[in-house]
Amino acid sequence: MIRRTPIETKINHERWLVSYSDFITLLFGFFVVMYSVSQVNENKYRVLSDTLSKAFDHNATSTAVAQPPDQLAKLDDVASQLMSALDTLVSDQSVAVFGNESWVEIEVDSNLLFASGSAEPNPQAKTIFAEVADILGPYENAVAVSGHTDDVPLRQNARFHNNWELSAARAAAVVDILALNGVAPKRLSAVGFGEFQPVADNTSDEGRAKNRRVVLRVARERAEVPRAAADKIISESGVVANSGEDTNLDNIVSNGINDARNQDGNDGVPGDAGDEAPSRELPDGRVKPVKLPSGGLLFSSDPDLPRNNN
């Protein structure tokens, strides 16, 4: 009987590498998924949380109207955002951000913003205040910009006669940049202080450099409502009827005095011998001013009552 020669089978001692590589690949994919899940966007998470809270709030109704958010920025948040946006300049001590419970102040070296003796902002100034405008734009806090210089007089400057004019023009230029980049103009104001509010000694180059600055101050409150015009106050008080007549206070006083002089012939002063006290009311019922011996003016519907006219 012929015996067959056994076939030799090679044993692969590296088959474990296949299983090992599969395991490592799956493990890598597992950790990638775990890492991506762990990176939660805080803002999106907050929005989702608020939405779910409202959805499951039993007190909420389908007809509830959402209240508009408070448009006044918190000063701590403003300061943090400004520090972050201007981090490089703050590190270089070219920009300082500080404040208190009433305002946040940004102090910028004028050498970064303008050429000597000029109020024309350079490209860096436009970049800096465009970033500031992006932060302040969505809110309603009042913003005041002030310009400051050193005490060196301007020489041969055809546009500005003194440092006061230069500082005011620089503040106005910054206000223009803020307004063009989305800050509501009604929130903005500009003022120039010239060399009259120094923060350092002007006897040294270093001190003068510190005094040349632009300061932007963000208030905690909204901009103040402008004072009503004098003619509106008079009209609302009932002294002057809103009938299209001249409501200028100076004209009213002047015309009243002239009418009184013409009627009694003694400069509007009653009590002279042989004179009756004339009527102090105009035909339309307005009170006529009476000139007193002391030079003052008396507004009264009954000027003949006893009183001290000194």
> What pLDDT was estimated at residue 277?
42
Token pair 């000139």 is at which residue?
A: 291
Say if residue 135 is in the same domain as residue 249: no
N-term to C-term CA, the chain: 157
Cα–Cα distance measured from residue 205 to residue 186, given in angstroms and rounded to the nearest whole number: 37
Say if residue 80 is in the same domain as residue 189: yes
- Please state whether beta strands 141-148 and 188-192 pair in parallel, antiparallel, or not at all (unpaired): parallel
Say if residue 186 is in the same domain as residue 104: yes
Say if residue 189 is in the same domain as residue 255: no
Q: What is the pLDDT along the chain (310 residues), one digit of tens a residue?
A: 567 777 666 777 777 788 888 888 988 888 888 877 666 555 556 666 766 676 666 554 444 334 344 589 999 999 999 999 999 999 999 999 988 889 999 999 999 999 999 999 999 999 999 999 999 999 999 999 999 999 999 987 889 999 999 999 999 999 999 999 999 999 999 999 999 999 999 999 999 999 999 999 999 998 876 655 545 555 555 544 444 444 454 554 455 545 545 544 444 444 444 444 444 445 555 555 666 666 566 665 555 555 554 4
The verdict on residue 165 lying in a domain is: yes
Write out the two tokens for 146: 């002030």
> What pLDDT was estimated at residue 202?
94
Say if residue 85 is in the same domain as residue 217: yes
The verdict on residue 30 lying in a domain is: no
Say if residue 80 is in the same domain as residue 182: yes
Write out the two tokens for 299: 């507004």
Token pair 């202080």 is at which residue?
A: 193
> What pLDDT was estimated at residue 43?
57
Say if residue 213 is in the same domain as residue 141: yes
Task: Give the Cβ contact number of residue 86 at 10 Å.
Answer: 21
> What pLDDT was estimated at residue 61?
43
Residue of 67, 307, 282 whose CA lies nearest to 298: 307
* Helices of type H across the chain: 16-38, 42-55, 75-85, 87-91, 123-136, 163-180, 205-211, 230-237, 249-264
Say if residue 144 is in the same domain as residue 260: no
Name the maximum alpha-carbon separation found in the chain.
Answer: 173
Asked whether 155 and 108 are in contact (CB, 8 A), the reply is no
Say if residue 101 is in the same domain as residue 134: yes
Q: How many domains does the chain have?
A: 2
- Please give the residue range of the domain that contains residue 290: 230-299
Say if residue 269 is in the same domain as residue 131: no
Looking up residue 129, the CATH number of its domain turns out to be 3.30.1330.60
Asked whether 291 and 257 are in contact (CB, 8 A), the reply is yes
3-class SS of residue 144: strand
| CA 151 vs CA 154, 161, 210: distances in Å | 9, 13, 12
The verdict on residue 80 lying in a domain is: yes
The verdict on residue 183 lying in a domain is: yes
Say if residue 157 is in the same domain as residue 247: no
Say if residue 99 is in the same domain as residue 216: yes
Task: Give the Cβ contact number of residue 194 at 10 Å.
Answer: 18
Show Cβ contacts of residue 90 under 8 Å, excluding neighbours closer than 6 positions: 83, 96, 97
Token pair 């981090």 is at which residue?
A: 87
Token pair 């067959």 is at which residue?
A: 4
